[in-house]
A and B are shown apart, each in its own frame.
Chain A
């Protein structure tokens, strides 16, 4: 059974930094692209960032480009998202998701339970 467990979310001041993690089990982690999606309180889903299985290719939403960094440690089956220069509008539940891909087209086949990041003074 695929399991994804996020951690690391907490209250941080504007301008601050935070790293959230996602530990995976139940599948061969290194062979799957992974992604982060966030959801602000009472709002819809917003894709944040994605990374290939090897970690050699990454992509970001314009709203976080230059501030957030996605990475992975395949030896530890763990996905990371480093959040820098945080703003109030980054307040959200951050979900990691496993991507199933065919011909470079990927959908999100499994999701973690999410971790809440709150940016406030």
Chain B
């Protein structure tokens, strides 16, 4: 099973600042990496797939990068609606698909 590790667990950011979230896979997964955003009481929403491709309707301030074992989600200029929990998920080595533990982006 591929273990996904996200860091940091919590990221305190001021509105308008850039946020950088990390995700590491325990083995190489190519570019089979997705990022999801989840707000309290809501379902997750796909942001990025294929490590760097934005899903339909996702603003350009969200960008993904990386391959192999190291991945990054960057939010270019944080808006109020971006404060949420973000999960990475690998779908290269399955079953099972596996998620990281999440990074909570909170207002500084």
Do A107 and B43 form a contact, CB below 8 Å, given A44-B101, A47-B97? Answer: no
Interface size class of B (residues with CB under 8 A): 20 to 34
Q: List the A residue with the shortest CB-CB distance to B56.
A: A109
Among B38, B44, B96, B97: residue with most chain A CB under 10 A: B97
CA distance A46 to B87 in the complex (A): 11
- Residues of the B chain whose Cβ atoms lie less than 8 Å from the Cβ of A106: 91, 94, 97
Shortest Cβ distance from A6 into B: residue: B43
State the majority secondary structure of interface residues on A. Answer: strand
Interface size class of A (residues with CB under 8 A): 20 to 34
B45 at the A interface (CB under 8 A): yes
Distance, CA A112 to CA B44, complexed state (A):
9
Chain A residues close to B by CB (< 8 Å): 35, 37, 44-47, 50, 59-62, 95, 100, 105-114
